[in-house]
Copies of this chain bind each other. A is one copy, B any other.
Amino acid sequence: MTFNTTLDSIKTYEAGKPIELVVREFGIPENEIVKLASNENPLGASPKAIEAIIQNACNAHLYPDDSMFALKKALSQFYKVQSNEIIIGSGSDQIIEFCIHAKANQKSKILMAKTTFAMYEVYAKAVGAEVIRTASHQHNLKEFLESYQQHKPEIIFLCIPNNPLGECLDSKETFDFLKQVDENCLIVIDGAYQEYAKAKDSTKAINPKTLIEIFPNAIYLGTFSKAYGLGGMRIGYGIAQQEIIQALLKLRPPFNLTTLSLAAALEALKDQEHIQKSLQNNLMQMPSFEGFAKEKGFLYTPSYTNFITYYFESPLDSTQIADYLLQRGMIIRNLASYGLNAIRITLGTHEQNKKFFTLFEQYLDER
A257-265, A307-315, A317-325 - the one binding chain B: A257-265
User: Are B260 and A61 in contact (CB-based, < 8 A)?
Assistant: no
Q: How far is the CB of A218 from chain B (nearest CB, A)?
A: 10
Interface of chain A, main secondary structure: loop
Q: Considering only CB atoms, which chain B residue lies closest to A9 in the complex?
A: B250
User: Are A260 and B244 in contact (CB-based, < 8 A)?
Assistant: no
Q: How far is the CB of A30 from chain B (nearest CB, A)?
A: 11
User: Are A251 and B10 in contact (CB-based, < 8 A)?
Assistant: yes
User: Are B66 and A232 in contact (CB-based, < 8 A)?
Assistant: no
Residues on the B chain within 8 Å of A258, using CB: 232-234, 258, 260-261
User: Are A18 and B67 in contact (CB-based, < 8 A)?
Assistant: yes
The 8 Å CB contact of A62, one of B1, B217, B231, B246, is: B231
9 interchain pairs, CB-CB under 8 A: A4-B101, A10-B250, A12-B252, A20-B70, A40-B61, A54-B54, A63-B225, A232-B260, A234-B257
Residues of A at the B interface (CB closer than 8 Å) are 1-4, 7, 10-13, 15-16, 18-21, 24, 35, 38, 40-41, 44-45, 49-50, 53-54, 57-67, 69-70, 90-91, 93-94, 97, 101-105, 119, 122, 126, 183-184, 186, 216-217, 225, 229-234, 243-244, 246-247, 249-261, 264
